[in-house]
Structure 1
């Protein structure tokens, strides 16, 4: 079964809120647990370069999962992901983030 690489793009206008999100993603591999063990293989977020082609997206988060099932757990049951969503919900503008995922 291939690993899953997931990219999540956010439109967060305030640079301080972008930095807050980057800090949350930095600790995600340790904070996110499934069956009592960390399950996210890699997580990081970075500020997008200011460029007209980015269509207003200011933050790109990358996560790597061992399987699609782990990604589904992250979306539906992970408490650490729930904290990120709660933290960013009021800070993201122009609808929900764009999520893309593919086999790694």
Structure 2
């Protein structure tokens, strides 16, 4: 479940950064979802609660540094995946169609 949560965090992080690139917003090298989300222009900012932001940010290190925290519960992992899917869906709706095409 730790790895699942790590990848959920990565999904959200990358989609938020895609919005920043699309809008020409520079951003620092960070995995902090709250910091990244704050840079996204309000009209296209996905809805993520403060708790979701903190939880996702925590997942950025949990898989990289195992043993420091208790294992993540299955229900929490499912919630993380659900959040990532929602952000992915919302951001993909804002991206230009050509950005969604797969290369040949």
TM-score normalised by length of structure 2 = 0.34
Which structure has the bigger radius of gyration? Answer: 2
More strand by share: 1
TM-score normalised by length of structure 1 = 0.34
More helix by share: 2
